[in-house]
């Protein structure tokens, strides 16, 4: 008997996802609550492929991060409406409770976090790049983790902050989470948060010290991700502790 046998990776199959709930997060972003038969479970930070098929047989496929915490009992996708987005225009616009579509996953093992990992947690997000980071924060809350954590989140305006109310609740629960918002376009009267794009000074002010070896996850548009990752390396953070996930105008 070979005690070194390793089971082959599970082959991903297309399955049917049925929409059981729709949550409007912002004017351009919606969360879809899904029922998927025999869902195998996922890790915080993973994503899925979604495939839509038109009546004439034309298919369009995109990848979306999972927003729900592992083991939460529900499966959620948060989708931003993109200009001319073939898939996002349906998911974030026309989809209704009871609709179904094809999905496969979970996918990815690099950009994932669990409470078992050592070190503080530093998250940097831009726009809908908050989605996999939110799954991590929800997992942190669900596991009652006291791991120190900071989220630095860039949005165009206060109306574009996804999960705003939930982030406020999590930051106020005494578990050691700090949430820092920065707005890049419109600031309401009395806004006391940051008011520019994420830069080196902002990273230096909000990030944990390199000496404590934080786990760093960055997700958002490619320019933001590359700039933040470079800045954190310049500040002395080890490259192997920095995980990134990026998308462009035609991505998620």
Backbone angles phi, psi at 77, to 5 degrees: -115, 135
48-81 per-position pLDDT tens digit: 999 999 889 899 999 999 999 998 888 999 999 9
Domain 121-247 has CATH 3.40.50.80: yes
Determine which helix (DSSP H) or strand (DSSP E) holds 125, and give its type and residue range: strand 121-126
Architecture of domain 15-107: Beta Barrel (2.40)
What was the pLDDT predicted at 73?
82
pLDDT tens column, 219-229: 999 999 999 99
Contacts of 190 (CB under 8 A, 6+ apart): none
Cβ neighbors of 199 (< 8 A, separation 6 or more) are: 227, 231
Phi and psi torsions of 179, nearest 5°: -115, 125
Q: Yes or no: say if 80 and 127 are a contact pair by the CB < 8 Å rule.
A: yes
CB under 8 Å to 187, separation ≥6 — which residues?
A: 157, 158, 195
- 6: Cβ–Cβ under 8 A, 6 or more apart, which residues? none
pTM of the predicted model as reported, rounded to 2 decimal places: 0.92
Domains of the chain, residue spans: 15-107, 121-247
């Amino acid at each position: 008997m070979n005690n070194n046998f390793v089971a082959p990776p599970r082959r991903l199959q297309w399955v049917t996802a049925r929409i059981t709930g729709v949550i409007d997060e912002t004017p351009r972003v919606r969360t879809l609550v899904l029922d998927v038969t025999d869902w195998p479970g996922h890790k915080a930070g993973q994503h899925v492929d979604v495939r839509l098929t038109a009546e004439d047989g034309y298919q369009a496929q995109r990848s979306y991060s999972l927003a729900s915490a592992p083991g939460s009992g529900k499966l959620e996708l948060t989708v931003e409406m993109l200009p001319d987005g073939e898939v996002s225009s349906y998911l974030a616009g026309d989809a209704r409770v009871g609709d179904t579509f094809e999905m496969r996953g979970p996918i990815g093992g690099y950009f994932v976090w669990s409470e078992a990992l050592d070190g503080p947690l530093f998250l940097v997000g831009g726009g809908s790049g908050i989605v996999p980071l939110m799954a991590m924060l929800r997992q942190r809350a669900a596991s009652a983790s006291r791991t120190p954590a900071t989220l630095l989140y860039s949005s165009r305006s206060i109306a574009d902050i996804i999960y705003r109310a939930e982030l406020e609740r999590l930051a106020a629960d005494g578990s050691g989470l700090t949430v820092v918002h920065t707005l890049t376009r419109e600031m309401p009267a009395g806004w006391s948060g940051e008011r520019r794009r994420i830069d080196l000074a902002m990273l230096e002010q909000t990030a944990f010290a390199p000496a404590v070896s934080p786990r760093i996850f960055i997700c958002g548009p490619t320019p933001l991700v590359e700039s933040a990752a470079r800045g954190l390396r310049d500040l002395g953070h080890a490259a192997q502790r920095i995980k990134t996930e990026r998308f462009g105008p035609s991505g998620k």
